């Protein structure tokens, strides 16, 4: 006897709920958001690589705003406006400067000094906004005790957190921009830097959901498994092979066939480590997600944490191998 449409719909919904529970996210929303992001990024790359650089600027400013909200939960204050100006200035200088490495180093050092100085001033946008930030963070899944226990932070703590933000967002984001500037393959490099960590996340998500039995780090991230890590590496490796096959000349394969293998290992392992670092940060702050700007993915930082951590390694690998 065949099932009715209502029973079939109920079975599909039950299976979908089980997948959502195991992955820890709303998969239909996550897939829809991912498709939209892929379309926007590819459109920017195909139209003009400068648009992609601008898109990175926008995403990093949004990430800084999310950190402003998240750190407010722990009682930290970071100079958001100063950080945003330094981020845009640094990424723009790295992209357009004739000496990209010097520009990155000089702008990062200058940003550390300026941000540290502004953080010592402990300038606030006002108590009403601070309360709004805390209320928003609480609604995003943070614990009330995390706010209550950390109302007062010293200037040195605010400076330390602000300087950490410079290194975490501005310096690592510069490594997303840097591969656009050498060896004449900006689109290929951008795809490797942005899409391969995302593909690795996807591989880890599905492998962990269907096969995950051995926990990778249950204290930090209970849903991550060794099977998921293996899926991350394999998906990243396969994606790197496809990108290399489609974008580089065939004669380069004779001497550089091993690069996608190394890239896959690096992206899978470092990307997973980036996710764990973000999970540890969220746990320490007492929040569930970095934000809710991307449906099904949490905040911008929840989406780009693995990209940020992987970017320096991919950048060095591409430069060292002449690709």
pLDDT in tens, the chain (323 residues): 455 555 545 554 555 555 545 545 555 666 766 788 888 999 999 999 999 999 999 999 999 998 888 888 878 889 999 999 999 999 999 999 999 999 999 999 999 999 999 998 865 444 445 555 555 545 544 444 444 444 567 788 889 999 999 999 999 999 999 999 988 889 989 999 999 988 888 888 777 777 767 777 767 676 777 788 888 899 999 999 998 888 887 777 778 889 999 999 999 999 888 777 877 777 777 776 666 565 545 567 777 888 999 999 999 999 998 88
Q: Which of 226, 185, 198 is nearest to 308 (CA)?
A: 198
13 in a domain, yes or no?
A: no
16 in a domain, yes or no?
A: no
Report d(CA 180, CA 127) in Å as an integer: 42
138 in a domain, yes or no?
A: yes
209 in a domain, yes or no?
A: yes
Q: How far apart are the first and last CA of the chain?
A: 60
What residues make up the domain containing 285? 25-320
12 in a domain, yes or no?
A: no
Give pTM, 2 decimals.
0.81
Pair of tokens at residue 128: 């009403």
- The number of folded domains in the chain is 1
240 in a domain, yes or no?
A: yes
Report d(CA 152, CA 239) in Å as an integer: 47
Q: Which of 24, 67, 57 is nearest to 163 (CA)?
A: 67
Q: Which of 162, 88, 85 is nearest to 122 (CA)?
A: 162
Locate tokens 């949490």: which residue?
298
* Helical (H) or strand (E) element with 215: strand 215-217
293 in a domain, yes or no?
A: yes
68 in a domain, yes or no?
A: yes
């Amino acid at each position: 006897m065949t099932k009715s449409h209502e029973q079939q719909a109920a079975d599909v919904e039950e299976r979908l709920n089980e997948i959502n529970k195991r992955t820890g996210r709303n998969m239909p929303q996550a897939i829809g958001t991912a498709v939209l992001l892929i379309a926007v990024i590819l459109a920017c790359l195909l139209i003009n690589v400068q648009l992609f650089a601008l898109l990175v600027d926008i995403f990093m400013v949004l990430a800084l705003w999310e950190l402003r909200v998240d750190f407010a939960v722990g009682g930290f204050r970071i100079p958001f406006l100063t950080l945003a100006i330094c981020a845009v200035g640094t990424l723009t200088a790295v992209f357009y400067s004739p000496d990209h490495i010097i520009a990155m180093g000089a702008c990062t050092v200058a940003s550390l000094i300026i941000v540290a100085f502004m953080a010592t001033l402990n300038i606030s946008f006002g108590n009403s906004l601070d309360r709004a930030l805390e209320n928003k963070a609480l609604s995003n899944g943070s614990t009330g005790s995390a706010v209550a226990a950390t109302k007062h932070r010293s200037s040195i703590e605010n400076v330390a957190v602000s300087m950490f933000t410079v290194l975490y967002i501005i310096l690592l984001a510069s490594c997303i921009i840097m591969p656009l500037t050498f060896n004449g393959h900006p689109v290929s490099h951008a795809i490797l830097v942005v899409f391969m960590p995302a593909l690795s996340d996807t591989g880890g998500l599905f492998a962990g959901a269907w096969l995950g039995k051995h926990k990778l780090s249950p204290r930090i991230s209970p849903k991550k498994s060794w099977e998921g890590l293996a899926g991350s590496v394999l998906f990243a490796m396969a994606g790197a092979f496809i990108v290399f096959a489609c974008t580089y000349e065939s004669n380069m394969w004779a001497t550089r066939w091993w690069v996608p293998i190394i890239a896959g290992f690096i992206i899978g392992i470092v990307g997973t480590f980036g996710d764990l670092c973000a999970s540890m940060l969220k746990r320490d702050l007492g929040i569930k997600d970095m934000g809710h700007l991307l449906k099904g993915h949490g905040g911008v930082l929840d989406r780009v944490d693995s990209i940020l951590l992987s970017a320096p390694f991919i950048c060095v690998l591409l430069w060292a191998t002449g690709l």
